[in-house]
Amino acid sequence: MKRASGSIQKASIDPLNGLIYDKNLDDFLLRCNLSDTCLEEPTIYSEIVKSVRLSDILILNNINEIDVSFPNILRDYSNNEDIFENNYDDDIIDIQNNAFETITELINNFNELNKDKHLKINIKLWV
């Protein structure tokens, strides 16, 4: 990642953290862990944590395209009998569809804003 000083430092991205959309920046943010010295290799347990623009991460790492998976709520809860016994499935489908539409809209906005940089996010629903 690029530091405020302009220097570039290695960072570690915790795979358990998701993307966050920042409306003010019109960009997604990723939580990155940094070592307090340039001598140590950063890990997810490193001391310093910064939120970094996804577009900056992609550019610095020469990545033009990434795939993002969206959770399939029905699949994730298919073993929960209470959901189906109480007919929550329609509500769950509505929640999933609304969430998927929202994230798709944000991704499309990101793609449009970054097309001159040749950056693109692809989204797919987990099957």
Q: CB atoms < 10 A from the CB of 62, how many? A: 6
Summarize pLDDT for 19-48 with one digit per residue, the tens. Answer: 899 999 999 999 999 887 766 788 888 888
- State if pTM tops 0.85: no
Phi-psi sector, 87: left (phi>0), alpha (psi -120 to 50), beta: left
Summarize pLDDT for 54-109 with one digit per residue, the tens. Answer: 999 999 999 999 998 887 766 655 566 655 565 656 777 788 888 889 999 999 99
